[in-house]
Structures are given as structure tokens and as C-alpha cells.
Amino acid sequence: MNTNIITTDNFTRSWIEQVHTRSAALIKNGFQATLSGKIITTCFFEPSTRTRLSFTSAAQRLGASVLGFDSVTSTSTTKGESLEDTIRMVSNYGDVIVMRHPEAGSADRAAQVAGVPVINAGDGANQHPSQTLLDLFTIKQGIGRLDDFTILMIGDIEHSRVVHSLSTTLKLFNNVEQLLINPLTQDYKPHLNKADIILVTRVQTERFTDKHQADLLQNSYKISLQDVEAMKPTCKIISPLPRTSELPTNIDAVPQAYYFQQASFGVPVRAALLENVLGVW
């Protein structure tokens, strides 16, 4: 059992495989009320659709209740309350805190004062550990293995907590070649036919101080049908979503497109994570 889930640095291969085994069992056998009587508190100081709702769905499917907020404007932070004081208060109201915050290191700060386990649902451009568990599960489901493959990551590499978390964790597996491409400085097209997995991330415009640079990066890449033709037939395109122009809708129906399936895996993976943090397994 892991008490806090703050960074992928603490992940082990065996623990990841246990999470995935439990996730697959939930998909196969359905959800039971293993968290009946528990309360999950979601503290989202930054916008989220998939992460917040998949945690909420997972908790409710396991019989837990959910409370929290999805905007900083609805909290006493607007009155000057510190993050630490907010977390101290929230610790009184639930059994685990799922938190997203725009500042790197904020999840660790929260864990230092929380009276209950904290799950980092994204701290700025730093870490997104539950997304890494989801990405790895998606890769396993998509190509059948977590060893001996090549992954091409395209997009806003510098600001992507998804890339940072996943890239570090992939080092736990054998013979994984990682190709990280910023399209402004390197052409991704020559690598398309090498990849078993292609991770495409949006430009994190909210993390740029120079919006012109964000626009330049945004306009530098778009996965086209011609790009898809260059890929292996067995390749899978994944993305944490949301998307803007980098994944046009005209590729959604190609066999390589796997990002919506990926999003659907968020519920069982995060359900398994909640069970682990709360001592079910």
C-alpha cells in the first residue's frame, strides 16, 4: 500500500504491475463497493475534465462519496488562505485528498501537512503520477507489452508533466527507446515508422510567459492522415487530452488512434489506485 502518491520517483515495476492487474480485474469483473463509507475529497485549484471526473466516477463506482471543488475561485484561497491551511482543513472532511494545483511542488507541500493520504493529480509542469499509471496501462493494452518498444513523444516537451512523469517511469522497463521531439527544433516525421507508441501532447499555453512562442509551437505540428500512413499498422497514438489542433478529428477513426480508449481506462486505473491508497489491497 502506498500512503501518498506524489511523484513517479517512488514507483516500482512490481507495484505498477499490481495496479494494472487490479485495473484489469475491475474491467473484467466489474466494480464492488470496496470503499463504502469512505469520502474522497477532490481539490482542483486548476481546471480538469478527465482526471477529476474519472477519479469521481471511480470513487462512486467503488461505493465512496465525493466532495470538493473544481475551481480556486470557490475556495478561501481568494481570501488569502494558504495552501497548507486549506489542506489542513480539508483533511478533516475526507479519507483521501486528490489535488491538482498550478504550482510545481504543491502536492509535496500538501502531503507534509495533510492528515490523510494525498494523490497528486498534477502539480504545474512537474508531475502527474496517476496519468503515468494510466499511460502505462494503455500502452500494455494497446501493444501487449511494457518492454521492448519505441515511444515517440511529440509536442510541448518542456512544459508537459505527462511527458516528465512517463519518461522517468519508462526507465523501469527493459529496452524502451524514447524519442522526445519538440517540433520547433526537430522534425518528427522521420521517426513515425519507428514508433510502437506515439504520445502527442498539446501546447501548455497557460505555462508560457511568451504567448508568441506558444503560438509558434502550436502551429509547428499536426498529425495528418499522411503521417498515419507512415506509421506501423500496429502503432497506437495516445494523448492525455484535451486536444487542440495537434490531433485533428479526421484521424479519429484510423486504427492507430487510441486516445479515446485511453481516456476510458482512467476510471479502472484510478479506482485501483484509490483502493491501494486506502488499504483495500
Name the pLDDT band for 141 (thresholds 50, 70, 90).
very high
Nearest to 198 by CA among 247, 244, 160, 133: 247
203 has a pLDDT exceeding 90: no
76 has a pLDDT exceeding 70: no
| Average pLDDT of the residues of the chain | 92
pTM of the model: 0.92
User: What are the chain's domains?
Assistant: 8-128+266-277 (3.40.50.1370), 130-264 (3.40.50.1370)
Is-contact 37 59, C-beta < 8 A?
no
13 catalytic? Reply is: no
More confident residue, 74 or 57: 57
Tell me what pLDDT residue 157 has. 82
Name the active-site residue from 22, 61, 101, 128: 128
1 has a pLDDT exceeding 60: no
88 catalytic? Reply is: no
15 has a pLDDT exceeding 90: yes
Name the pLDDT band for 218 (thresholds 50, 70, 90).
confident
Give the C-alpha separation, 130 to 135, whole Å: 9
191 has a pLDDT exceeding 80: yes
100 catalytic? Reply is: yes
Name the active-site residue from 22, 38, 52, 100: 100
51 catalytic? Reply is: yes
Name the active-site residue from 20, 22, 38, 50: 50
159 catalytic? Reply is: no
Is-contact 30 147, C-beta < 8 A?
no
